[in-house]
Amino acid sequence: MFCPDLTRAVWRKSSRSSGGSANCVEVANLVDATAVRDSKNPDGPALVFGAGTFSAFLDGIKAGRFRG
């Protein structure tokens, strides 16, 4: 199981997130992965995706594959 140390991770959220928005996620780029967490709960759990997996996810978003 891959459990990276996230204590030094640099977290960021979208520039489109408004200051008062409660529905934001933050991402941190790691050496070989990307971590994602709930901005409302920064001390809570984070999901960690391998670089290829996260890239494929972003490609899917851009292609509209996840629209309801």
- Is 3 within a domain? no
Report the predicted TM-score, pTM, of the whole model to 2 decimal places.
Answer: 0.78
Structural domain boundaries enclosing 13: 9-68
- Is 1 within a domain? no
Total domain count, the chain? 1
pLDDT of residue 1: 59
Q: What angle do CA 55, 42, 38 make, to 5 degrees?
A: 50
What's the pLDDT tens digit per position in 20-62?
666 788 999 998 899 999 988 989 999 999 989 999 999 999 9
57 touches 47 (CB < 8 A): no
The full DSSP string for the chain is: ------TT---B--TTS-TT-S--EEEEE-SSEEEEEETT-TTS-EEEEEHHHHHHHHHHHHTTTT--
